[in-house]
Amino acid sequence: MKGIGLATSPSWYCSKVSGCNVNGLLAFGGRNSIIFLDATAEPPVFLGWICQFRNRINSLAWNVNIERLGCSGDEDGKVHVWDAETQTVIAEKQNIHKNKVTVVDWLCSDVVVAADDRGHIFTWRFSHDDVQYFHPEPQAVTCMSCSPHTSTNIAIGYKSGLLLVFDLSKKGKVLHKLRGHDEEIQSLVWCPNLTDDINKPGDDCVNERDLSRGSLASGSRDRTIRLWCLAKERSLSTLRLPTSNSSRSHGDDQSARSRTYLTLLWPKNMPNELISSSHGGEMLQWSLGKSGKGKYQVFRAGVSSSTHSRTIFNIVQVSSDTLCSFSMDRQIILWDFPALCSKSTIPTVGGVVTALAVSSQTGRLAIGCGDALLRTWNLGSSGSFYDVQSFWQGVKAKVTAVAWHPVKEGWLAYATEEGRVGIYDVLSTKGPMLSSSYHRGTIYSLVWGKPCSVDGSHDAGPWFFTLFSCGDGVIFQHNPSRLQDEAEDINTLIRTTNNLKLKLPMRTEIAWKPNFSIAAIGNDDGSIELFAATSLRLVCTLHAHCKIINCLRWHPEFTQASSGASRCSCWLASGSNESDVLVYDLTAVLDKKSNIDSGTPSEEARSPRLITECSQLLSGHKNRITSLAWSSHVDGLLASVSYDGTAQVWNALTAAPIANFRGHQNRVLCVEWSQSDADLVYSGGEDYTVQSWRVTEQEFRTPPEQKSKSKGKHKGSKRHHQPTETEAVKASTEDSEKLPAGQQEMNNVGQLLEEKRQQLLLDAGKVTAEKVTAREVNVVSATEAFVGTGGSFGQQVSEVASSAEDILPEDLHLTVSVSAPQAAVESEKISRHASLAGKPKKKKVKSLLPVCSGHDNRGKHFAYQDCILLSDLFYGSETVKTEAAERSSHLGLFTDRRGVFDLLKTEGLHHQKMGNIDYQLLLEIWKGNIGGTLKTASEKNCLSDYLVAVASISSQDPACWRPVCHQFAKQLAAEENHQRAVLYLLACNDVYAALDLLLEHGMYREAVALGKCRLSSRDPVLVKIYLAWVCQLSKDGNYELAAKCLLAIRKPADAASLLAKRADAYCLKVAAHVCTRAADDGRARAHVLRYVQHCRLAGNLQEVVDTLGVHRQLKGYELACTVQQLLVTQLLHLTALPPDTAVARMEKLQYLPEFPVATGNATPPGSETDLTQPWRTLLLQEQPFLSFIAHMWDLHLPVTMATVAVAELYDDLRGNQQASGSQTNDETLIVFLSNEIAMCVLSLLLSDAGAAAVHLSNCLGTSGIVGRPDLLRSVCNLIFPYGNVLILLLPRVTGVIRHTSLTLQALGHTSVQF
């Protein structure tokens, strides 16, 4: 961006969007960039920009300690830290704010403070990525300033007029809350020279001089400036803006207040002076020690610069004697501070730069922008480098085109987006002259030319030139001397002069030759038409482009490098939505100017020529061409700009690229050469800049390679600029971005060429004069000859041309004149298209009448023969008519109805031979043979939707529609298009057939849905569908879905059985729940028992108890669970059980206390000791293990000791106990032992000592305990603490327990806790 002419305008209504570092480097935020301006240079120079942002910059600030660092905040809530030397972003925080950042500042060297429009305040230490958050007030922050004296103090102004000063080091503690303003605070500045005492509230030892000026100043929309003393926490004084006499300030007070923006600057080392903005762009210097009329002075205009005319948003200090201000008038002004006058004005641009034009008379550069301003830049001014005038009267819209009058000095024509045309005299102070005629849409081309009329006459007055405007597809001719008259549509003149009856193409561009003898008009179909002045007689048509023409430029008649007329004076350059620039040498056409201008031209001169080949093809851009400009200094030097964001300079004489400028950051829309400097070029684009650059200083020669982009919009992306209305009108509906050139193998190119030739020659139905241009045929044929034969290119041209003439119709016949370099370029273009050969292409529609089309495209010789046949057929004798009728079957379109029928029959047979049965049937329907067509389609299984639709409206057999639908459904089913087959069966109301079709092909879901919708809920077919689905699901192992189907048909038992097949714990629980809900207690009991067994093996004892709470008939297993928990606890204590087993990690029962562990070597009652026992005696609270279990049941379980109840519990456990030999692991062994011990205790409670002994023997005889002496000894320690004596003692002990429990229950007492 170095050497930029005009930069983008600073953002409006931002309190701190500009700043200056200690080196005098100005930075300001624009549309989505930060621009750097060296304000110390003379004239000031733009040094560069940072354009990595996607949204508008709202605030920026320089780092006081590190002069090259700065920070900024944008609309999207992001905060950035950037380096001015490298012009790059070095740190970015994306998620600090979710709202718009309104202001940023530096707290210290690496801490940034940012505030948003919701009142959130963040501090970000970017070196450590540390963020802190404060929210003192829930309202929008409008301005902020960090104290230069106390690093942690910060002042914040709010939209309501509230002013806060708080200390960030004390977690955002509010030090001062100041009220006085009625509306939003727009600026805050600290006094540059401030004693420490000022910040101490309540301190009486404050210097009176410091108090007079205050320590903080604030400016508000209420048009007042308040000076605050923080020590006293009050306003010391209030300064009110003076009343302005400017016409811009007239009107009601509310309107004037809404336009007011009061920004402040407290100059360094000048505590008694304050700078502020005022009404209408005025800037004031306040003397804080004075009062009355002398308390302020107004800055005035300098000798070669002006003042602002609109609101000022920012004022910054560049140096001790220079200030800088930024305004709504899009000007940056540097001020001489001591003299209080402006010394330099720098204009900026506030919109897309759409048009540039250089005056050959005054050297001024006209600039059309999207900010509704028309600018002229006096490039030859000696007083100021930035001598720019702005014109706004009569514009009122985006300026899209500009044109200088070729003779009248200072006359500048402009056109707008709204379709208006006006003329400014930039050398006077008068307003514009506006045309009374306007276009319906955007005007995208504006030129001066000779007045045109049917007879070639024109006014003899001083207005020798008229103005031509091109927009919305038409070109108007405006007479400058009578702009109030209606403009003339030149299409009317073209039709009359050239006797045209056909529809004219949409006009997109117009360019007059510098000598005004020829007008070139570009069209939306890619053609360029040359018309002779002044009758607009068509001279020549150029059809080398395939897409809409965007720009046309004639080479100058004379250049500084040529002694006489330039050798390129008859050259025309064109750009389109394609990425290539084409240059035409029209010398042969324009040399016959005498014949064109004479009153009686020869017939040869009168007939227009058709040219389809360009003289030079300039390839390099990667996107559409938007503007062209020839150099007036050097012959053949052409500049072009493109949507690829670059400007390219070409040597059109050799088609060689010279330089490529890449300074723009978006699409480039216009370009112009300097009239005084042969090396200087101006360009403008969508980045809101006009850039001036030198050709010899460019590093690159060609545009950069770009990745292929998909067509269409990028949703949610803000980086891609939306096209303006001007570009949208001028651009075609398709975005013709060309892919990067890639070198392909020659055989691939040859294959592509062969395919294209076959398409042109064999598929004649696809070849029409509108779709295939002669340029394509010539290039393809010639290049194929060069590639395929490998011989000399020149030797093959004539042969290819002759073959082309034999097969092409007359309107496509051209003279092939292609040079070898041109063919090489065309070959490269085709090789780029060859890279797309592997990608899927959109299928082309075949011709319905290929035979007829083939005959019509055989060539002009055959066309002549057809004309002879038709004349013989219509006007010959009967014999001649008979002979002609036999040979005119392909001419049915041009004969009678019988001939058309014969032609359609021939076409149908051709389609049948080629396998296009659908086309044959369609032609039969055209003939009215609906019944026969349907019969044929049914027999050949080639029915289609439209045939069935036709059957419903057939007047021959109204009842044929239902069988046709059935037949078509069978056909669709055979083609595995079952959904559509069902649709047609339903159309016949045959629901059962549709259901059978779905079931036959395994579409059970669809069958259920359809059956539920169309059948009664009691229809047995629904049950059939569900059972078929269940059968298939069972085979697939999807038992859960099968169970849902069975539940749908009210078969819960079968559903539970299927769920139980999983053998999964939760499936068993669900199966039990299903059976329980269905009142099937038997199956529910079986599933619950299996579920309980799974839970016990996994150690989930609490889950067992919770489940048994619902199934009371299995309460005996709750007793077994308590025994299992007690047994596992004791075995783990005795280290007889591994701690890693599932039962060892069991979930304990919540209602049981912590069990004691067995201890002791106690003596049994009565000293009956078994001296032969090999183990030590272990007791639980002085009780045997089995006795302790009975006590535990009695105390903690709601189990009655009645004989009947105990017997039921015993039967529950005994009926489902496993055999003693089925224990294969510790889990099953523990469950088995728990059950046996529980049944043993229940037997003892029933006074059945024999049964108890059997259960005890089962414990010791199980296969799982044999061979494990440690486990066997531990079990014996527990169940036989006294050896054999236990058998005698147990009946007596358990009898006492049972008797005691029954007695207490009868008396209503609870048992005693152990």
Q: With the C-alpha atoms ordered 1179, 1185, 1190, 1196, is the resulting torsion angle positive or negative? A: positive
Q: What is the mean pLDDT of residues 558-562?
A: 86
The encoded tokens of residue 638 equal 């052409």
According to DSSP, residue 640 is labeled: E
Of the CA atoms within 13 Å of residue 456, those in its CB half-sphere come to 11
The encoded tokens of residue 1236 equal 């046996």
Residues in the chain: 1314
pLDDT digits (tens, 9 = 90+) for 842-860: 444 467 778 877 877 777 6
The encoded tokens of residue 498 equal 């050239």
Residue 632's pLDDT band (boundaries 50, 70, 90)? Answer: very high
User: What pLDDT sits at residue 710?
Assistant: 45
Write the single-letter amino acid at 899: G
User: What pLDDT sits at residue 823?
Assistant: 42
pLDDT digits (tens, 9 = 90+) for 1058-1081: 777 766 777 777 777 788 777 777
| C-alpha radius of gyration, the chain, whole number | 49
Of the CA atoms within 13 Å of residue 428, those in its CB half-sphere come to 12
User: For the chain, how are helix, strand and coil distributed in percent, rounded to 5?
Assistant: 35, 25, 40
Indicate if the pLDDT at residue 39 is higher than 80.
yes
| HEC-encoded secondary structure of 554-618 | ECCCCCCCCCCCCCCCCEEEEEECCCCEEEEECHHHHCCHHHHHCCCCCHHHHCCEEECCCCEEE
User: Do the beta carbons of residue 818 and residue 779 sit within 8 Å?
Assistant: yes
Residue 205's pLDDT band (boundaries 50, 70, 90)? Answer: very low
Residue 368's pLDDT band (boundaries 50, 70, 90)? Answer: very high
The encoded tokens of residue 13 equal 């209504």
pLDDT digits (tens, 9 = 90+) for 193-202: 765 444 444 4
The encoded tokens of residue 162 equal 């509230």
Q: How far apart are CA 378 and CA 359, in angstroms?
A: 10
From its phi and psi, is residue 394 left (phi > 0), alpha (psi between -120 and 50) or beta?
left
More confident residue, 934 or 734: 934
User: What pLDDT sits at residue 65?
Assistant: 87
For the chain, give the percent of residues with pLDDT over 90: 26
User: Do the beta carbons of residue 305 and residue 9 sit within 8 Å?
Assistant: no
Helix (H, G, I), strand (E, B) or coil at 1161: coil
User: Do the beta carbons of residue 161 and residue 186 sit within 8 Å?
Assistant: no
Residue 51's pLDDT band (boundaries 50, 70, 90)? Answer: confident
List, in sequence order, every residue forming a beta bridge with 433; answer none if it has no partner.
Answer: 423
From its phi and psi, is residue 330 left (phi > 0), alpha (psi between -120 and 50) or beta?
left
Helix (H, G, I), strand (E, B) or coil at 649: strand
Q: How far apart are CA 681 and CA 666, in angstroms?
A: 18
Residue 402: CB atoms within 10 A of its CB come to 23
Residue 1171's pLDDT band (boundaries 50, 70, 90)? Answer: very low
H or E stretch covering 1098:
helix 1081-1098
Q: What is the mean pLDDT of residues 1181-1198?
A: 73
The encoded tokens of residue 1202 equal 């009645």
User: What pLDDT sits at residue 464?
Assistant: 80
